[in-house]
Amino acid sequence: MENQSGHVIVVTYPAQGHINPLLQFAKRLVSKGIKATLATTHYTVKTIQATTVGVEPISDGFDESGFTHAPSVQVYLESFKTVGSKTLAELIMKFSDLGSPVSCIVYDALLPWVLDVAKNFGICRAVLLTNSASVCSLYWQIHQGNLSLTVKQETLPLMLPGLPPLGYSDIPSFLAQPENHSAYLAVILEKFGCLSENDWVFCNSFQELESELVMALQGIWPLVMVGPLVPSAYLDQQIEGDTAYGASMWNPSSDNCLRWLNTRPPRTSCDMVQSTRGSSSPSCGLLHYTWWMELDTRGVEPRCPNGGSTAVE
């Protein structure tokens, strides 16, 4: 660690789908000879296992219980902004006193207040977008007033620069059901108003996946593609021992999953990953897939969503 150049604090929102990609980014920094410290809430620190990355707590105001005991999303986000700003500043000063000053802060896009903390200390700053460039471009179009926040069926398909025609099922749930995510949407849209104030805007995607769109966005923000942020074992094997993400807010039950899969006929199971903060019904999420399966292979009337819950496990 003595020979490392620079010290980066990576600040993440306390949800597994945010912690893991930012933790992977921190691991990449360490592999390049940079000291990296992951900062997240007291409640989630204990869920993280990372041998090469330092892990430090900051407060969201709910240290003993985390997000689930907050009265509302709005209250939680306001508390995290107020208390988190103070405790992050204290962490930066702590490292300075220890002779390991922070040279850059990389922060989760759901925590736009970190930008102000970095500015106050005169530290380089970068925001990390955990979404793809395509999703980010939708939010950008809304922020610019080119797209309505409420997407109506009669306006579909959406025709946007750099993207194919988008139907209702192609739109993120935060936009398809904005009334269910108003507090998060306010934070997201606030973030897009200050992206250009960062030294870098990192995106969890890669050029070859969204080349036309990435080229367009690079003309707007200081955009750098850093994805996919997954363990090195699945990519280039350049980080020894990096075979898992390193953070799990739930007890893994791989044995139970394998036992259940072994009871299913071959090629009849489909894995679905849902956002930690999403509110869509799993059966509705598989609605189009289930209809296609039943109509095409069985010739029977679709039974989802009313009967879908028994088919989705």
- Which residues have a Cβ under 8 Å from the Cβ of 117 and sit 6 or more positions away? 85, 88, 89, 92, 105
Q: Is 53:38 a contact under the CB 8 Å cutoff? A: yes
Count CB atoms within 10 A of the CB of residue 37. 19
Q: Which residue has the tokens 């090469």?
A: 52
How far is 56 from 107, CA to CA, in rounded Å?
Answer: 14
Phi, psi (rounded to 5 degrees) for 74: -60, -45
State the helix-helix crossing angle for 73-97 and 182-192, rounded to 10 degrees: 50
Count CB atoms within 10 A of the CB of residue 165. 10
Residue 111 buriedness (CB in 10 A; 0-12 / 13-18 / 19+):
buried
Query: One of 18, 60, 181, 242 is an active-site residue; which one?
Result: 18
Alpha carbon distances (Å) from 256 to 251, 253, 259 = 12, 5, 5
Which tokens is 213 given? 């769109």
Count CB atoms within 10 A of the CB of residue 107. 26
CA 91 to chain CA centroid, nearest Å: 23
Q: Of 254, 300, 257, 307, whose CA–CA distance to 283 is shortest?
A: 307
Give the long-range contacts of residues 270-275, CB within 8 A, separation 24 or more. 272/312, 275/17, 275/173
Q: Is 18 a catalytic residue?
A: yes
Which tokens is 228 given? 């996919």
Query: One of 7, 108, 181, 242 is an active-site residue; which one?
Result: 108
Catalytic residue positions, numbered: 18, 108
